[in-house]
A and B are shown apart, each in its own frame.
Chain A
């Protein structure tokens, strides 16, 4: 395992390999751009009182999680001068000398086959204990608890909900040895790419996974029957059914914020149009009426509007439709290719694929819905499929690197960027889950 901590001044080439203890399908993590404004935090390895070795290094998971937000710079372990595991052992002066603004300590005790995890968070400057809690877990739940504790610490320090207990859905495409044949797989992993599991395998393309707002289901497009069709699958049970089988396109499923409807693209009436499928009534409402391409719908958080991609002005641009009035308004004007927009959770911005006029890069960009101001967040040439984390802090997207499709994550302020490559095959079509707890 290679591990180097972020040096505040250096923005490049930090390699963080979380070697997988599980199957090869896990994604590894490489931080490619760090932040020089991150707040130093010391995370002391958790003391362990029990038999045998622990399956997870909780302190390490906390430090890695906090580092990946771009807001925190964990103090390298080798620089820790003491290893307190209880509040009474903390000497604030030691931590001030390390320039740590915050300190996390903890211990794990074995009790009747269960683990008792105690952790505390200190503000070194004000010399206060600002958070302390004990949680229990079965040994196999240790990683989930580490993510839970990360969420608690993050929320305490930023007043924003953490996303460490969320998940990613993504698709891999792997060429079979020496054959012009591929295996497509739909996976779900933790937000850090670990604990990946395959929930669907197919010889035909799978795309556009989208989480139901309660995180219990995924809608996606599968070509398994030779044509694109929309399926819905229960994440917990794997149970699935085909929702649509219209002539032509059946694509771009997007759950409404209340989970009762799916926006989608169908070409059953001629050209690709946006429709809304009412899941309970099994009724279809048509939203757009234009001979151009209309596709890639995304709901505003209040459920009142959809944004979508349309070629009605020539090339693809982002439009907004008010679902009550039916009024349609163009919202993207900069650049000659703007597509697949997704709302930020507060509705203030949309994240989309953007190409400058005359430029060659397809980048992830944020468009402010009030001011119309555009910020480009990535610099790779062929970015796709941006999906926003439920707290609005990060965007996961697909990119090509050295002829391999991988996932990238960039903070919405552009400060930190990291990559999640798979060991084999192309990774694509990421979808960040909603909050799951």
Chain B
């Protein structure tokens, strides 16, 4: 959790690489459909970046192995999902990840999760607080529809106060900040 909370770019990249390995689609890249066409951003860039260090590559591989061995009631590895600018709707590529969390929470009624909503650093702080909460609520609503009990989930929005990439300049970095994190 700490990893995710203050995740360094390479750790995030490693996770993205893992997701890319499972899903196989460019769609798992945190994107910005408002401003970027799908062609402009490729997950491979991040996968390559992760592979640049042997350690990172090993980590990614290890996580991939784990993923292969995953069964439905284990805690899912993907702890962060991403959103478009000023949007709180769940992008279809994350349904599988959310379904895995739903399965885990239903199989473990004692498990509790905090859904932390975050935004990028653009725009106003209070609006972003509300936007972060909407993102958290979207996830909560989706999980509820899958049968997860409301008592197991709590939404806390940090708005733009806790970016993964501080002082983000690029579209890719902004995209990494627009997220909901699962904190078990």
Contact = CB atoms under 8 A, between A and B. Distances in A.
A205 interface: yes
B127 A205 contact: no
B124 A205 contact: no
Nearest to B155: A248
A205 B125 CA distance: 11
A248 B123 CA distance: 21
A38 B130 CA distance: 43
Contacts of B133: 248-249, 267, 272
B126 A265 contact: yes
Nearest to B167: A403
A315 B123 CA distance: 11
A362 B86 CA distance: 14
Interface residues of A, number: 36
Interface stretch (A11-19, A150-158, A222-230): A222-230
Interface residue tally of chain B, by bracket? 20 to 34
Which of B130, B155, B156, B158 has the most CB atoms of chain A within a 10 A radius of its CB? B130
A293 B87 CA distance: 11
Interface in A249-269: 249, 251-252, 265, 267
Most buried by A among B86, B121, B129: B129
A381 B102 CA distance: 40
B142 to A, nearest CB: 16
Contacts of B161: 205, 207, 223
Given A205-B158, A228-B129, A353 B124 contact: yes
Nearest to B5: A180
Contact of B6 (A180, A207, A251): A180
Contacts of B158: 205, 223
A295 B126 contact: yes
B131 interface: yes
A227 B156 contact: yes
Contacts of A315: 86
B70 interface: no
B28 interface: no
Interface string B139-157: 0000000000000000111
Interface string A90-108: 0000000000000000000
B101 interface: no
A296 B157 contact: no
Nearest to A402: B167
B127 A340 contact: yes
Contacts of A226: 156
Interface string A403-430: 1000000000000000000000000110
A184 to B, nearest CB: 9
Interface string A289-317: 00001111000000000000101000110
Contact of A382 (B86, B121, B134): B121
Contacts of B129: 207, 228, 249, 251-252, 265, 295
Nearest to A206: B161
B127 A309 contact: yes
B126 to A, nearest CB: 5
Contacts, number: 83
A316 B127 contact: yes
Contacts of A207: 125-126, 129, 161
Contacts of A271: 134, 137
A429 B156 contact: no
Contacts of A339: 123-124, 127
A111 to B, nearest CB: 50
Contacts of B137: 271
Contacts of B121: 382
B123 A252 contact: no
Contact of A385 (B124, B130, B131, B157): B124
B134 A293 contact: yes
B126 A340 contact: yes
A208 interface: yes
A251 B125 CA distance: 10
Interface string B110-130: 000000000001111111011
Interface in B146-184: 155-158, 161-162, 167
Given A223-B161, A226-B156, A337 B123 contact: yes
Contact of A272 (B5, B125, B130): B130
B86 A384 contact: no
Contact of A353 (B123, B130, B131, B167): B123
Q: Which 4 A-B pairs have the closest CB atoms?
A: A180-B6, A340-B124, A272-B130, A205-B161
Interface of B: 5-6, 86, 121-127, 129-131, 133-134, 137, 155-158, 161-162, 167
Given A340-B125, A362-B122, 12 more contacts: A207-B125, A208-B125, A208-B126, A226-B156, A249-B157, A252-B129, A271-B137, A293-B127, A293-B130, A293-B131, A353-B123, A384-B124
28 contacts: A180-B5, A223-B161, A228-B157, A248-B155, A249-B133, A251-B126, A251-B130, A252-B129, A265-B126, A265-B129, A265-B130, A267-B133, A293-B131, A293-B134, A295-B130, A296-B124, A296-B127, A309-B127, A316-B86, A316-B123, A316-B127, A337-B86, A339-B123, A362-B123, A385-B124, A385-B125, A400-B167, A403-B167
